[in-house]
């Protein structure tokens, strides 16, 4: 394992690689996002990963690995994370400020990938009505297509729709996601110009991968003694599947499916990641990715099962550890496949994560550590009562979500009050509420340059049109979630610190010297990844990209 700030190098056997393109560029770029992967998993599970050294150990020791990559904005959610990785921008620029946000005009929540103007292809369900319509910046894939005059193929795949759609960008050839529920299928939407699924997707769906998985059990991959980095199998900090009293191995999936929304159950097991790898292989073969001379294709792969498992069982559970050990094997399998079908010097992988995860607050408090469970409804009631107490009866707050407080601006105007003053008062009151670290107003985030670290991160995640009147930040260790499992979203290290690994054709690419220097010696922001990859490929950086890897 690489030490802090040190780049590891390994001898690469080029005797079995295929012919490199004349310009030295790879024929296939693969952007891998592991949903909810904290950096410390590479350290905690290092010895167990080495049981199958072809996965994370091979990526690290034969590639370039940075040990100090962080998210530089708040909130650290899945939608913003995927968008930021592939655009090189923060939410203030690319517009994906949360997984869903309050739409002031519609007085309703807007999901980051929801598009009522498209229809599903391969599914008739609402789950098919998705697109990148809300993404306001180009992605690496979009820039590839612009540079190649549309010749590059760009495909996104993930169990989650947003994990497939946002990385691939607005001009992608396709994004595919797993429907689940009663449908054991991968599907897409009409955004991508299709009326029916390609034959290779239809053929994959016919195999019924999910149905096969749900006939099996989920047990630990290695003997119980290998999991001493995690808590005991049955501990109070993890949530059981519906239908079970205790969260203990083995999980008989066939008996749990009906109570856990049928095929959705597979998303919350490591086998969802295994299926994603198999679908990625099918995409490479079905679309003939990496087979065009002089052209770079792109495949965006997001592993979502790690997030579902992490939320339910927490970062210190055996379920989470087993999921990562199995993902290690899946990645090993995928790399071997790429070596055989594409050729080691003909592909380039970059791997990172969309966010980390907090420790379970109950576990922390049992160890006399500072943490807590936050209830935003109580804060909303508290703030509403404060406003009524001072200014009289009225519906003062119309929404509270994602730690954003939306005031009833029409009511404030009718009362002939200063919106800026009301925002300031609400921010002050919010800071007096248990669990709140700090709060910032729409006015100050819009018109002043933040000097304090947290304010700066909030400002990078703030959108004048989509964000609330007051945004508050919780104290370290505090989360809004149930008593079991965990979540993410903060600007603290446990949510911001993620891996960043380059692997494959990195030695023949025109890797900028500054990228070597920064990865080896300095910290990286998540928004540095897109410009580094763009420079590697000799393409323009995405349109919303403001960061430069050689300048901050």
DSSP string, 158-192: ESSHHHHHHHH-TT-SEEEEEEEBTEEEEEEEGGG
d(CA 442, CA 92): 13
Q: Residue 215 falls within a domain, yes or no?
A: yes
- 383 and 457 both lie in a single domain: yes
Q: Residue 394 falls within a domain, yes or no?
A: yes
* β strands within 332-415, DSSP E: 347-353, 372-373, 397-401, 404-407
Structure confidence by residue, pLDDT tens digits, 404-438: 999 999 999 999 999 999 999 999 999 999 999 99
Which token pair is 216?
């099996």
Structure confidence by residue, pLDDT tens digits, 140-199: 999 999 999 999 999 999 999 999 999 999 999 999 999 999 999 999 999 999 999 999
d(CA 190, CA 529): 30
For 362, the enclosing helix (H) or strand (E) is helix 361-366
Q: What are residue 121's phi and psi, to 5 degrees?
A: -120, 115
- 184 and 42 both lie in a single domain: yes
Query: Which residue numbers are catalytic?
Result: 78
- 145 and 247 both lie in a single domain: yes
- 307 and 414 both lie in a single domain: no
Boundary-marking domain end, from 475, 508, 525: 475
Which token pair is 273?
């990641």
Residue pair 15/67 in contact (Cβ under 8 Å)? The answer is: no
Q: Residue 3 falls within a domain, yes or no?
A: no
Q: Residue 481 falls within a domain, yes or no?
A: no
Kindly give the interhelix angle for 318-341 and 271-286, rounded to the nearest 10 degrees: 20
d(CA 401, CA 265): 27
Boundary-marking domain end, from 475, 505, 525: 475
Boundary-marking domain end, from 426, 450, 475: 475
- 274 and 397 both lie in a single domain: no
Cα 200 to Cα 284, 301, 512, distances in angstroms? 10, 17, 38
Tell me the three state secondary structure of residue 275: helix
Cα 336 to Cα 27, 48, 196, 224, 332, distances in angstroms? 17, 19, 32, 28, 6
- 471 and 496 both lie in a single domain: no
**C-alpha angle 501-143-131 in degrees, rounded to nearest 5:** 90
Residue 182 burial by Cβ neighbours in a 10 Å radius (0-12, 13-18, 19+): exposed
Residue for token pair 């609400």:
426
| CA distance from start to end of the chain | 28
- 231 and 275 both lie in a single domain: yes
- 289 and 418 both lie in a single domain: no
CATH code for position 257: 3.40.720.10
Number of domains in the chain: 2
Whether the link from the prior residue into 250 is cis, omega within 30° of 0, is yes
**Could you list the pLDDT tens digit for every one of the 552 residues in the chain?**
333 333 332 323 333 334 445 567 899 999 999 999 999 999 999 999 998 889 999 999 888 888 899 999 999 999 999 999 999 999 999 999 999 999 999 999 999 999 999 999 999 999 999 999 999 999 999 999 999 999 999 999 999 999 999 999 999 999 999 999 999 999 999 999 999 999 999 999 999 999 999 999 999 999 999 999 999 999 999 999 999 999 999 999 999 999 999 999 999 999 999 999 999 999 999 999 999 989 999 999 999 999 999 999 999 999 999 999 999 999 999 999 999 999 988 999 999 999 999 999 999 999 999 999 999 999 999 999 999 999 999 999 999 999 999 999 999 999 999 999 999 999 999 999 999 999 999 999 998 776 777 889 999 999 999 999 999 999 999 999 999 999 999 999 999 999 999 999 876 555 554 444 444 446 899 999 999 999 999 999 999 997 554 443
d(CA 269, CA 273): 8
Which token pair is 263?
């095929």
Q: Residue 543 falls within a domain, yes or no?
A: no
- 221 and 344 both lie in a single domain: yes
CATH code for position 465: 3.30.1360.150
- 397 and 332 both lie in a single domain: no
Q: Residue 147 falls within a domain, yes or no?
A: yes
Tell me the three state secondary structure of residue 103: strand
d(CA 103, CA 111): 10
How many C-beta atoms surround the C-beta of residue 262 within 10 A?
A: 18
Cα dihedral 440, 452, 462, 162 sign: negative
For 34, the domain range is 28-362+489-536
d(CA 26, CA 9): 19
Enumerate residues 6+ apart whose C-beta is below 8 A from 445: 455, 458, 459, 462, 467, 471
Q: Residue 4 falls within a domain, yes or no?
A: no
- 297 and 380 both lie in a single domain: no
- 428 and 391 both lie in a single domain: yes
Q: Residue 545 falls within a domain, yes or no?
A: no
Structure confidence by residue, pLDDT tens digits, 352-392: 999 999 999 999 999 999 999 999 999 999 999 999 999 99
Residue pair 143/122 in contact (Cβ under 8 Å)? The answer is: no
């Amino acid at each position: 394992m690489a030490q802090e700030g040190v780049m590891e190098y390994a001898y690469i056997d080029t005797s079995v690689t295929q012919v490199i393109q004349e310009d030295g560029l790879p024929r296939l770029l693969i952007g891998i996002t592991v949903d909810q992967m904290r950096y410390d998993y590479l350290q905690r599970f290092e010895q167990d990963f080495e049981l199958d050294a072809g996965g994370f150990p091979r990526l690290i020791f034969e590639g370039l690995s940075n040990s100090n990559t962080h998210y530089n904005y708040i909130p650290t959610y899945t939608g913003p994370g995927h968008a930021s990785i592939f655009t090189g921008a923060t939410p203030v620029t690319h517009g994906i400020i949360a997984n869903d946000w309050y739409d002031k005009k519609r007085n309703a929540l807007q999901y980051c990938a929801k598009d009522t103007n498209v229809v599903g292809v391969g599914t008739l369900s609402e789950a098919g009505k998705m697109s990148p319509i809300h993404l306001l910046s180009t992605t690496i894939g979009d820039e590839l297509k612009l540079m190649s005059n549309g010749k590059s193929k760009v495909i996104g795949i993930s169990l989650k729709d947003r994990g497939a759609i946002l990385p691939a960008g607005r001009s992608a050839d396709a994004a595919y996601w797993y429907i689940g529920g009663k449908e054991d299928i991968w599907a897409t939407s009409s955004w991508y110009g299709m009326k029916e699924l390609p034959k290779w997707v239809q053929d994959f769906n016919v195999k019924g991968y999910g149905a096969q998985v749900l006939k099996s059990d989920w047990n630990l991959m290695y003997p119980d003694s290998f999991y001493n980095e995690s808590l005991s199998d049955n501990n109070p900090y993890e949530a059981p599947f519906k239908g079970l009293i205790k969260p203990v191995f083995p999980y008989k999936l066939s008996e749990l499916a009906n109570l856990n929304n049928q095929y959705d159950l597979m998303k919350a097991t490591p086998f969802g990641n295994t299926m994603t790898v198999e679908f990625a292989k099918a995409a490479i073969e079905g679309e003939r990715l990496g087979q065009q001379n002089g052209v770079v294709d792109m495949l965006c792969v997001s592993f979502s099962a790690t997030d579902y498992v992490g939320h339910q069982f927490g970062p210190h559970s055996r379920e989470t550890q087993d999921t990562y050990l199995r993902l290690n094997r899946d990645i090993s399998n995928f790399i071997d496949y790429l070596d055989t079908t594409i050729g080691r010097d003909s592909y380039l992988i970059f791997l990172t994560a969309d966010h980390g995860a907090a420790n379970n607050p109950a576990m922390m408090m049992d160890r006399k550590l500072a943490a807590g469970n936050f209830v935003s409804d109580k804060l909303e009631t508290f703030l509403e009562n404060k406003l009524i107490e001072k200014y009289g009866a009225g519906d003062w707050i119309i929404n509270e979500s994602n730690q954003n407080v939306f005031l009833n601006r029409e009511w404030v105007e009718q009362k002939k009050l200063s919106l800026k003053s009301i925002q300031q008062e609400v921010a002050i009151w919010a800071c007096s509420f248990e669990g709140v670290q700090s709060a910032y107003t729409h006015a100050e985030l819009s018109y002043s340059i933040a000097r304090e670290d947290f304010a700066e991160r909030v400002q990078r995640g703030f959108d004048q049109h989509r964000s609330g009147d007051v945004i508050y930040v919780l104290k370290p260790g505090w989360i809004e979630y149930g008593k079991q499992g965990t979540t993410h979203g903060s600007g603290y290290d446990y949510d911001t610190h993620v891996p960043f690994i380059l692997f494959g054709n990195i030695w023949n690419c025109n890797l900028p010297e500054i990228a070597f220097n920064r990865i080896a010696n300095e910290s990286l922001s998540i928004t540095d990844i897109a410009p580094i990859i763009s420079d590697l490929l000799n393409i323009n950086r995405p349109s919303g990209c403001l960061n430069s890897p050689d300048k901050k």
